[in-house]
């Protein structure tokens, strides 16, 4: 509410002062007939600005969610630029705003052009109204309560109109320089909040992917949903949790702008000196950015070696085993084609190994032994097959017809004729392992492995192809929570190194480079501007240096005209003495 109140007060007062001064000039110049036309122009400007605000809001509401975030990012960025320009322009012209407007109005009336004053009023209201529409749209987007934000702007505009009328009537004498300095400091904080809103919208739109590590947690000071958080968010755009990129951008904007607004005008350096200061600060920012980029710690390369063995345990059963994985994961989870991987699974003394293609299927919460969970990517693998050794696996090499019927649900499999119960068949087995790998795709660190082991049996029949009998085992084994800690510790170490590299080597240098470019844009024109030369002086003349060809000048007091007296004084002449 405070942010919208200050915006409405500041913009409304500036427009009210301009319109009031123009109206006073028209009235004093006996051109009251044009005042009505001026108010018509002001009304048209207000209507256009309201239409612009409504159109932007309607456009935003009709867009999909991601496009809404994109529009919010663009609007908030434009609002920051416009507020910054307004603050800097008003700091420069607030002391002579009244006199400059009076001079412009007087020149227009001297040329007999009251229409120029009407256009001036229209453009003033249109400019301030358009800026206000953009500011308020950005402020409403970041406000918790749109109703309170609306009340704030209505109150701000109302107070501005009253102050403008009182200044116009001469009821109060407003120190514009002090007023705009105080409101400028508040607007700097509001604009800094809009900087954070711009970056937040850019992240939600998918334009900004770095610097999202949490830098500040203000939940102890302003709990989510509390009055304190509403005040911080509604007034200054500060939320209870802030990422690194938003905090750094806030400081880089707020600190220099507060110095500009609050610095005493009488102590402002000369333009060339100020240009040197800005360029020196820009050079220092670039040096710091380069040093941080070079000094940033490197990120470990994603793992592509063999990882494991990972312990496998059957849930509620006694089967145990191990698994090893070798794969080259990438940040996209293997892409649409999947990630080739080499797996080796050993269960019950039987080893199954081979190449499997892992495809990302989503994310899963990996639960640790202490109850905490970590989110990782799950990859479904293509099955691996092997033929176990019956002796090593403790399997029978022959099966009777009765055993085959028992394995097939009480009936003999198709392809085996009914015979005596004592008939035996030579049996062989096939193990099919379907893996599911849980890993951190960016670091390539495998956290855990789940496998489903299905063992099928087939028998040899004379003069026929082997007959499939059915499955004699279907077991699922997983890595227990107690065995996940080492891999997750490696993931945490990798993410820590990545975060430091990203913040120190990319986020801070990038923001410092942008900060330096802004300083260069302001400093170069001041440094390259040509200094103004000394003002021309009128040389003193004496009778001895007066050319002989000039006629004598009567310098008596009676002969001197009022226009000549200043000229005599500048020439250094002395009035003649009385006789």
Question: Measured between alpha carbons, how far apart are the two ends of the chain, in Å?
Answer: 81
If pLDDT is split at 50, 70 and 90, which confidence band does 379 have? very high
If pLDDT is split at 50, 70 and 90, which confidence band does 441 have? confident
- Output the pLDDT for position 191: 82
- Tokens standing for residue 129: 């109204």
State the Cα–Cα distance between residues 397 and 458, nearest whole angstrom.
11
- Output the pLDDT for position 267: 83
Least confident among 21-30, 174-183, 444-453: 21-30
Taken in order 189, 194, 199, 200, the sign of the CA dihedral is: positive
Neighbours of 295 (CB within 10 A): 9
- Output the pLDDT for position 362: 86
DSSP 392-449: HHT--SEEEHHHHHHHTTSSPPTT-----TT-EEEEEEEEEEEEEEEEETTTTEEEEE
If pLDDT is split at 50, 70 and 90, which confidence band does 225 have? low
65-93 helix and 97-110 helix, angle to the nearest 10 degrees: 80
CB 23 within 8 A of CB 102: no
State the Cα–Cα distance between residues 79 and 81, nearest whole angstrom.
5
Give the global pTM. Answer: 0.63
What percent of the chain lies above the pLDDT cut of 90? Answer: 17
If pLDDT is split at 50, 70 and 90, which confidence band does 550 have? very low
If pLDDT is split at 50, 70 and 90, which confidence band does 508 have? very high
Among 284, 277, 283, which Cα is nearest to 526's? 277
Q: Write the pLDDT tens digit of every residue in 356-372.
A: 999 888 888 777 666 66
Among 297, 15, 31, which Cα is nearest to 160's? 15
State the Cα–Cα distance between residues 361 and 379, nearest whole angstrom.
6
Beta strands in 15-164 (DSSP E): none
- Tokens standing for residue 141: 């987007």
Neighbours of 266 (CB within 10 A): 5
3-17, 210-224, 231-245, range with greatest mean pLDDT: 210-224
pLDDT above 90 for 290: yes
Higher pLDDT, 480 or 228: 480
Mean pLDDT of the chain: 76
Q: Which residues, listed in sequence order, are joined to residue 478 by a DSSP beta bridge?
A: 313, 450
Mean pLDDT across 65-90: 77
CB 312 within 8 A of CB 347: yes
CB 349 within 8 A of CB 393: yes
If pLDDT is split at 50, 70 and 90, which confidence band does 214 have? confident
Mean pLDDT across 232-254: 81
Q: Write the pLDDT tens digit of every residue in 15-41.
A: 776 677 667 666 666 666 677 777 777
Neighbours of 115 (CB within 10 A): 13
Report the DSSP pairing between strands 384-386 and 398-400: unpaired
- Output the pLDDT for position 272: 86
pLDDT above 50 for 542: no
pLDDT above 50 for 578: no
Mean pLDDT across 329-342: 66
Among 334, 332, 186, 329, which Cα is nearest to 257's? 186
C-alpha gyration radius of the chain: 41
If pLDDT is split at 50, 70 and 90, which confidence band does 575 have? very low
In three-state secondary structure terms, 505 is helix
pLDDT above 70 for 171: no
Buried b / exposed e across 530-565, counting CB within 10 Å, b at 16+?
Answer: eeeeeeeeeeeeeeeeeeeeeeeeeeeeeebeeeee
> How is residue 540 annotated by DSSP?
P
- Tokens standing for residue 193: 């909040």
Report the DSSP pairing between strands 373-381 and 320-327: unpaired
Residues whose CB falls within 8 Å of the CB of residue 280, separated by 6 or more in sequence, listed in order: none
Could you give the angle at the alpha carbon of 240 between the alpha carbons of 235 and 246, nearest 5°? Answer: 80
Q: Write the pLDDT tens digit of every residue in 104-128.
A: 555 655 555 556 666 766 766 776 6
State the Cα–Cα distance between residues 385 and 288, nearest whole angstrom.
58
Residues whose CB falls within 8 Å of the CB of residue 16, separated by 6 or more in sequence, listed in order: 160, 161, 163, 164, 165, 167, 168
């Amino acid at each position: 509410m405070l942010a919208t109140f200050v915006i409405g007060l500041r913009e409304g007062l500036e427009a009210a002062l301009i319109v009031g001064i123009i109206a006073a000039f028209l009235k004093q110049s006996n051109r009251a007939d044009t005042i009505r036309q001026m108010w018509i122009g002001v009304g048209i400007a207000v209507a256009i600005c309201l239409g612009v605000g409504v159109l932007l809001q309607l456009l935003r509401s009709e867009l999909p969610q991601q496009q809404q975030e994109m529009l919010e990012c663009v609007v908030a960025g434009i609002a920051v630029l416009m507020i910054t320009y307004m603050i800097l322009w008003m700091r420069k012209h607030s002391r002579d705003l009244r006199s400059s407007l009076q001079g412009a109005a007087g020149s227009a009336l001297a040329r007999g052009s009251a229409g120029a004053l009407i256009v001036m009023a229209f453009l003033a209201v249109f400019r301030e109204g358009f800026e206000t529409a953009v500011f308020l749209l950005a402020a409403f987007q970041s406000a918790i309560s749109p109703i309170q934000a609306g009340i704030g702007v209505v109150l701000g505009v109302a107070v501005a109109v009253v102050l403008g009328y009182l200044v116009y009537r001469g009821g109060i004498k407003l120190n514009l320089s002090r007023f705009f300095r105080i409101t400028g400091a508040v607007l700097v904080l509001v604009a800094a909040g809009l900087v954070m809103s711009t970056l937040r919208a850019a992240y939600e739109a998918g334009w900004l992917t770095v610097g999202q590590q949490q830098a500040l947690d203000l939940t102890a000071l302003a709990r989510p949903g509390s009055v304190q958080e509403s005040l911080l968010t509604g007034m200054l755009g500060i939320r209870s949790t802030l990422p690194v990129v938003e905090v750094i951008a806030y400081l880089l904007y707020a600190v220099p702008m507060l110095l500009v607004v609050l610095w005493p005008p009488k102590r402002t350096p000369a333009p060339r000196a100020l240009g040197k200061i800005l360029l020196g600060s820009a050079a220092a920012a670039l040096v710091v950015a380069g040093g941080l980029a070079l000094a940033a710690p490197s990120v470990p390369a994603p793992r592509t070696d063999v990882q494991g063995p990972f312990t496998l345990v059957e849930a509620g059963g006694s089967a145990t085993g191990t698994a090893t994985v070798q794969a080259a994961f990438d940040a996209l989870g293997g892409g649409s084609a999947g990630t080739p991987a080499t797996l080796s699974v050993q269960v019950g003394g039987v080893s199954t190994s081979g190449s499997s293609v892992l495809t990302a299927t989503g994310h899963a919460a990996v639960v640790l032994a202490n109850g905490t969970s970590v989110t990782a990517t799950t990859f479904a693998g293509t099955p691996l097959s092997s033929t176990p050794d019956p002796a090593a696996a403790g399997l029978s090499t022959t099966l009777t017809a009765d055993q085959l019927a028992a394995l097939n649900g009480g009936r003999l499999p198709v392809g085996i004729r009914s015979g005596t119960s004592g008939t035996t068949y030579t049996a062989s087995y096939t193990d099919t392992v379907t893996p599911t790998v849980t890993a951190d795709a960016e670091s390539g660190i495998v956290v855990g492995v789940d496998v489903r082991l299905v063992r099928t049996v087939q028998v040899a029949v004379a003069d026929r192809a082997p007959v499939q009998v059915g499955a004699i085992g279907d077991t699922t084994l997983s890595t227990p929570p107690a065995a996940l800690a080492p891999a997750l510790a490696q993931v945490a170490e990798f993410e820590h190194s990545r975060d430091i590299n990203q913040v120190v080597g990319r986020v801070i240098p990038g923001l410092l480079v942008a900060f330096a470019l802004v300083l260069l844009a302001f400093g170069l024109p001041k440094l390259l501007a040509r200094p103004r030369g000394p003002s021309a002086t009128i040389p003193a003349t004496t009778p001895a240096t007066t050319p002989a060809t000039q006629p004598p000048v009567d310098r008596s007091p009676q002969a001197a005209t009022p226009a000549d007296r200043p000229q005599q004084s500048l020439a250094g002449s002395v009035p003649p003495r009385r006789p």
